[in-house]
Structures are given as C-alpha cells and as structure tokens.
Amino acid sequence: MAEQTTEQKKQRIFSAIQPTGVFTLGNYIGAVRNWDKLQEQYECIYAIADLHAITVMQEPAKLRQNTMRAFALMLACGMDPERSITFVQSLNPHHAELSWVLSCSTMFGELSRMTQFKDKSRRHSDNINAGLFTYPVLMAADILAYNADLVPIGADQKQHLELARNIAQRFNQRYGDTFTVPDCYIAPQGARLMSLQDPTKKMSKSDENANGCVFILDDKDTILRKFKRAVTDSETEVCFREGKDGINNLMTIYSAVTGKTFAEIEAEFAGKGYGDFKTAVGEAVADHLAPLQAEYNRLIADKAYLTACMNNGAEQAFRLTRRTLQKVYRKVGFVDRK
Ligand code: TYM
C-alpha cells in the first residue's frame, strides 16, 4: 500500500477590503478578524482593494494615504506577511486584465440586479460611472485569478460572490474547465453588524449619524460614548430575542470581543439595566481594540517597511495569477506572448 506521506494541499482563501478610511467595527468583526483565524488552516491571500475604491470620487493624495493606513491596519489586525500574501490590489495588474475578459462573460442584466450598485447610485447620483456598474466583475476577477476555494466576507457581499460563481461557471462551460468555483465563508456571528443609531441598518462608515458607527481606531472615550448612546428598546431585559434589534446587535458585539455565549451574557446581566450593559460592551470593545491600536501606531510609523511589504506581497501574488492569465488568454484565443 502506498505510504501517505504527502501533506494534503491547503485550500486557498482570497479576500479584500477597500481603503476608504479606518475599518469599522463591522468590517472587523464581520470579516477581517476571521481572516486572521483562517491563516492557521488555509493558504491566504489578502488585499487592500484600491481599484474598487475609485468607483466613488477620491482625492488622490488621500487615497494614497488611506491605502497605506489600511495596509497597516490589516497587518495590525493579525495578517502576517510571513504566513499569507498581503498586498495592494493595484500593484498586481492581472486583476484589471482579467476583469476585462470576465466582463465579456457577464450579462448587463446580472449587474443591474446588484443591490449595492442600486444603493451606491442613489448615494452618488452625480457620479454613476461605468466602474461602479462593473465593480462586481473586478471583484470576481480578484477571486478567480487566484482560483480561491473560499472567500470570507460579511453578509452584504454575498450577492457579489454569487455573481462571481456564476461568471466562473459560465466561463468554464464555454471554454472548458478554467476556474475554481469559490464558496463564501460567512462567520456564524457578526456577519451583519448593525448601526448603533438605527439597528435595522448595516453599520457603515457612510452612516449620517457619526454615533452609529464605531471605527477600530476610535479612542476609549469615543467608544464608550458611542455605546452609551446606542439605540435599544423600551424594555429592560438583556436577552437575544426577535424584535430586540439594538440589544441583539450589542450582544453580538459583546460576544464577539469576549468570547461569551448569549446564555452567559444573559446570566451576567440578569437584573441589571441597559445602562450597565452598554458600558460593559463599550469597555470590552475598547479593551479588545487597545493592542491592535498600539500595533497600528507602531506600523504606521514605518512607511519603508509597509511599502516593501506590500510590494513583496504583490510580487508573490503576480506569480500566482500569471499562470491563470496565461491559461485564460489561451482559452479565449489570444495570440501567444513572446
Ligand atoms: P468592504 O470594503 O465594503 O468591506 C470589507 C469587509 O467587511 C464586511 N462588512 C461587514 N461585515 C459585517 N457587518 C458590517 N456592518 C459590515 N460592513 C462591511 C464586508 O462584507 C467585507 O467582507 N467589494 C468588497 C471588497 C472586495 C472583495 C474582493 C471582498 C474587493 N474584492 C474579493 C472579497 C473578495 C468591499 O467593498 O468590502
């Protein structure tokens, strides 16, 4: 019998985040925190999606600064350039190249149905550019270029991932097996953190009310203040129940940063009011974020390291995607490159 000495090939993960400011607690709990844990088990590739960011108006100097900050934040959140590939999307030209080819296998009707496009065109009605419309094709290219098996995302990106799967399947059907059809990885808890001011809406940096959104670099006082003002309901009992959107959201956050179960949280706050609970959530979040903030401050002071690191990651990324691009170009009938 053949000896089974060869280590089983690790599954591959790809995910990305836009550099449109400091990550929100939603980005962190819904996505980035899980990226860190996944590094144990998978071959991971993580990018700062600056190509996606220019689908809405950006001030160039600010985008460059935000990209550097987002990269530092990603490392501070635990992404380890020694274990995973970490880079900035625009440093690997294959994303944009593949996006063009895939856009020719994507239907206008499919893109028209994307809820994020509809939502963003309402919010940026003076700049409904073609990139905003084809944004999900670029996201598909990000994933398919690496033949990723799994894509960890928050619930709001699920529709885009479904589209990436459809594009991969359509391309494979037309040209023969080329791409891995990726699955999404949505964390069992916190996949959709809600605004602290309107718990029926997703927590987002574009929240009109600044108190609705916690940023992971907020200082302790700001975090405590935002949680103290969190909108709840007219009852008094801390328990996870349908209709208690505000409390459910706070319990989800508290559970995510302390590791306590909902039953443990209910027992801890039995007989206590919402005020005590909100303070405890604020404290726990601030304590949880403190080491990450210290690490960010250390990293952002070392621009040379960050620049070297993102370029090194991009070179590794480029080597992986070159094979996919060669295969795709052959399949669609482009002439050989000398
Ligand atoms: P972005 O930058 O809007 O968000 C990054 C990640 O954070 C998740 N997220 C949330 N999760 C829970 N609760 C919330 N309130 C919340 N808000 C945001 C998002 O679901 C996402 O996982 N198009 C993507 C970036 C991207 C990408 C990719 C992702 C580009 N290419 C390829 C995966 C694979 C985006 O704009 O995410």
Please indicate, yes or no, whether residues 148 and 275 belong to a single structural domain of this protein: no
Quickly count: other Cβ atoms within 10 Å of residue 197's Cβ: 19
Q: Cα–Cα distance between 242 and 221 in angstroms, integer?
A: 31
Residue to mutate, 156, 201, 204, ligand 1, most ligand atoms under 8 Å from C-beta: 156
Same domain, 158 and 39: yes
Q: For residue 42, how far is its CA from the centre of ligand 1 (angstroms)?
A: 19
Q: Are both 282 and 309 inside the same structural domain? A: no
- The CATH number given to whatever domain includes residue 155 is 3.40.50.620
Mean of all residue pLDDT scores within the chain: 95
**Over the stretch 300-334, which tens digit does the pLDDT of each residue have?**
999 999 999 999 999 999 999 999 999 999 999 99
pLDDT at 189: 87
Q: Among residues 133, 166, 187, which one has the least CA distance to residue 15?
A: 187
Ligand 1 atom closest to 191 (CA): 12
Predicted pLDDT at 208: 85
- Report the sign of the C-alpha dihedral through residues 306, 76, 53, 86, in that order: positive
Number of domains in the chain: 2
Share of the chain above pLDDT 70, in %: 98
- The two three-digit tokens of residue 164, written as one number: 């990436």
User: Is residue 168 situated within a structural domain?
Assistant: yes
How far apart are the CA of 88 and the centre of ligand 1, in A? Answer: 15
pLDDT of 254 strictly over 60: yes
The H or E element spanning position 324 is helix 303-332
The residue contributing the CA closest to ligand 1 atom 14 is 26
Pair 49, 118 in one domain: yes
The 10s digit of each residue's pLDDT in 21-54 is 999 999 999 999 999 999 999 999 999 999 999 9
Which structural domain, as residue segments, surrounds residue 314? Answer: 12-190+302-332
Ligand 1: distance of its center to the CA of 10 in Å?
24
Q: What is the pTM of this model?
A: 0.95
Q: Are 216 and 109 in a shared domain? A: no
Closest-CA residue to 75 (of 258, 298, 259, 256): 298
Whether residues 174 and 282 fall in one domain = no
| 21 shares its domain with 64 | yes
Tell me the per-residue pLDDT of 188-215, one tens digit each, with 9 for 90 and over: 889 999 999 999 999 999 888 999 999 9
- The answer to whether 86 touches 310, Cβ cutoff 8 Å, is yes
Are residues 156 and 284 both part of a single domain?
A: no
